[in-house]
Amino acid sequence: VDGDGLFGQYIYQRIPPLGFLDDLLTQPLVQLFANVPFSGLLLFVALTLGTRFNFDMPRAVRFNAQQAALIDVLLIVPELIGSG
């Protein structure tokens, strides 16, 4: 969600139909995410702790959820560099 507008703009400029699909399909979720206070923190905690010891989930799903949480943290670094 964080990188969609910031990093996705380059591919959307080159492939306009992809940008339209992104606006159509993900924009309601992005608006909801932006309007709920502390939604980023809640999503991070849910992905990190919710999948950590849940052995009912397939291993690949747990790995991908952990990877998504790590990428979310790593996307903060370019934002800090760009704003500073």
User: Token pair 């702790």 is at which residue?
Assistant: 49
Tens digit of each residue's pLDDT (9 = 90 or more) over 28-78:
888 888 898 888 888 888 878 888 888 898 999 999 988 888 887 888 888
| pLDDT beyond 80 at 12 | yes
| pLDDT beyond 80 at 5 | no
- For 30, which DSSP code? H
Cα-to-chain-centroid distance, residue 76: 11
Please tell me the predicted confidence (pLDDT) of residue 1.
Answer: 58
Please tell me the predicted confidence (pLDDT) of residue 2.
Answer: 59
- State the pTM of this model: 0.55
